[in-house]
Homo-oligomer: A and B are copies of this chain.
């Protein structure tokens, strides 16, 4: 409680403690989230995603430096994909923010994804909420874009930046197509690589095929984050996209759609927790499993029965 008081006074040590508290889902963390929620909504959330190894971290550092220059406070959430089995982060700790002057309102948090979602951790949204309610102007969410994460990041951000590198390998094609669909801004990093021009032309034609949505034209920005090139242009496009959303009332509409998604996720999670404990861990589960294994009954019928039982007392 005294930590929350310090939190509301702007104490970054308290911020770190609250984030850990929420991230670890310590007892009472939902009550904390409920108390913080009314304070949130002021931060602009930018997602930065792309395949592994494209230089997202460096790019985030560059952009962060520009926000600092403009006297904007900043929260950075960097999400490492973790193994679904061990729960450990795969990419390990990184030395971050080497180029940022200390103590300029930038708060950095690295997280591992957890649990079965395999994507943007549920905790990510909650950590974002904490940073938002703390009063950060901007929140950068950096994550590897594979599979389901693509959808998660769209649902967690106002602007989504997809980072690619010139690369013709098969291994990137599958990811690329999915990623391009969610991009508000496309970045081609390491644009000094051979074949960069052709790569950008290809991206450009792919975008043409996709057509424009609501009159926002997805820009393709060339950067060389390692050599400090292109970040200012990216920064300007970020501002332009935010302005576009605001002036078309899309930010509000997007956020309301996100709220509805969140509600469904929260409700599903509650029901899943409930089910694991109550319905399936019941004494009958062993017997039913045995019967299904022996093909005496099928799982579809059993699931229907569980479902009807769950709701039977409801329909009156």
Contacts A53-B171, A169-B53, A285-B260 given; does A37 touch B298 at CB 8 Å: yes
Query: Per-residue 0/1 for A14-34: is the Cβ within 8 Å of any B Cβ (1 yes, 0 no)?
Result: 000000000000000010011
CB atoms of B174 and A172 under 8 A apart: no
Q: Which of A165-185 contact B (CB under 8 A)?
A: 169-175, 177-178, 181-182
CB atoms of B146 and A295 under 8 A apart: no
Q: In the complex, how many residues of chain A place their beta carbon closer than 8 angstroms to a beta carbon of chain B?
A: 81
From A4-12, A115-123, A238-246, give the one contacting chain B.
A115-123
From A192-200, A223-231, A265-273, give the one contacting chain B.
A265-273
Contacts A52-B173, A85-B181, A301-B34 given; does A268 touch B266 at CB 8 Å: no
Q: Is A97 an interface residue (CB 8 A)?
A: no
CB atoms of B299 and A263 under 8 A apart: yes
Complex CA–CA separation, A202 to B310 (angstroms): 50
Q: Is A237 an interface residue (CB 8 A)?
A: no
Query: Per-residue 0/1 for A272-300: is the Cβ within 8 Å of any B Cβ (1 yes, 0 no)?
Result: 10111001100001001110110100111
Which residue of the partner chain, among B40, B85, B116, B280, contacts A263 with CB atoms under 8 Å?
B280
Q: Is A84 an interface residue (CB 8 A)?
A: yes
From A59-67, A98-106, A148-156, give the one contacting chain B.
A148-156
Complex CA–CA separation, A257 to B33 (angstroms): 35
Complex CA–CA separation, A314 to B39 (angstroms): 36
User: Who on chain B is nearest to A91 by CB?
Assistant: B174
Residues of B within 8 A of A90 (CB): 173-174, 177-178
CB atoms of A313 and B310 under 8 A apart: no
CB atoms of B295 and A178 under 8 A apart: no
Q: Is A75 an interface residue (CB 8 A)?
A: no
Residues of B within 8 A of A53 (CB): 169-171
CB atoms of A259 and B289 under 8 A apart: yes
Contacts A266-B300, A300-B34 given; does A311 touch B275 at CB 8 Å: no
Interchain nearest-CB distance for A246 vs B (Å): 15
User: Who on chain B is nearest to A29 by CB?
Assistant: B300
Residues of B within 8 A of A306 (CB): 263, 267
CB atoms of B314 and A37 under 8 A apart: no
Complex CA–CA separation, A39 to B86 (angstroms): 36
Residues of B within 8 A of A3 (CB): none
Which residue of the partner chain, among B85, B144, B311, contacts A274 with CB atoms under 8 Å?
B311
CB atoms of B147 and A83 under 8 A apart: no
Which residue of the partner chain, among B30, B34, B316, contacts A313 with CB atoms under 8 Å?
B316
CB atoms of A302 and B263 under 8 A apart: yes
Query: Per-residue 0/1 for A71-109: is the Cβ within 8 Å of any B Cβ (1 yes, 0 no)?
Result: 000000000010111100011000000000000000000
Given contacts A37-B300, A118-B148, 7 further A-B contacts (CB under 8 A): A34-B298, A84-B178, A259-B299, A263-B303, A274-B307, A274-B311, A313-B314
